[in-house]
Amino acid sequence: MRGNKSGDQEVTIRILSIQHNFEADHSSSSYEFFALDKLTPEQRAGVQDLTGESPRRHLRFHYMGDWRDIPSDWPDKLLTLGYDIMVSESYDWWAVHLSLPHDPELMGRLQQYECDSDGNGFRLEVSGDRMVLYFGMQLDYGAAYDAFGEDPFEGLADLFEGVRSELFAGDLSVVWAMCETYGGYEDEETEPEPVEPLSPSAGALLNVMENY
């Protein structure tokens, strides 16, 4: 390629090679909601009014760009409108929200396992007549695909459907696994009660988290 002339001399620029680079765009967030049972007419009307989407048992929302995201009140509202599980992902930060009927006795047993490490960990809160359990974790996409197949969102939803059944049966090993991975209770007066052996769901989740 020839450049501009400089005086009486002509400058020649030679291109030796061209390299095409691909840069992945991670500035996106995804949210998927799963209803384990058929939505009631009242719930369907509530979902339609809130989101403008056609109510169905599996809702997907995907946002591109750093400044676009799901409205802040949608997750809690949808988790009280018949959706039992929300799986979300952004920048390899994954979260699962599990909506259960508010049970003060179960809530009291779960609270000892609450933990946080830079947004990862376990916590719970009450929303109306539901209690919502939050599981935050960093998962490598490769490990997630290896564990859950082509759709990690549905894979995690299936896994937490099993967690839900275990919690109803009184098995708290999944929250113990979260506490063991992300917790630190040196400053606590009492340590969380260990749960052994781990349930199949807790063991599968722990295996994926350890592969990050």
* DSSP-derived 3-state class of residue 100: strand
Is residue 87 a contact partner of residue 32, using CB atoms and an 8 Å limit? yes
Does residue 12 sit within a domain?
no
Does residue 14 sit within a domain?
no
Instruction: Give the span between the Cα atoms of 130 and 118, in whole angstroms.
Output: 26
Instruction: Give the span between the Cα atoms of 27 and 154, in whole angstroms.
Output: 22
Does residue 74 sit within a domain?
yes
Residue range(s) defining the domain that contains residue 94:
26-210
Region 90-106 average pLDDT: 94
Answer whether residue 64 shows pLDDT above 80.
Answer: yes
Does residue 15 sit within a domain?
no
Instruction: Render pLDDT for 115-151 as a digit per residue (tens, 0 to 9).
Output: 999 989 999 999 989 999 999 998 877 778 888 888 9
Q: 202: Cβ–Cβ under 8 A, 6 or more apart, which residues? A: 163, 166, 173, 174, 176, 177, 195
Count CB-CB contacts under 10 A for residue 132. Answer: 20
Count CB-CB contacts under 10 A for residue 144. Answer: 21
Residue owning tokens 């350890």 = 210
Number of independent structural domains in the chain: 1
The separation between CA 29 and the C-alpha centre of its own chain, rounded to angstroms, equals 10
Does residue 4 sit within a domain?
no
Q: Residue 65 has what pLDDT?
A: 65
Q: Residue 108 has what pLDDT?
A: 96
Does residue 11 sit within a domain?
no
Does residue 119 sit within a domain?
yes
Does residue 154 sit within a domain?
yes
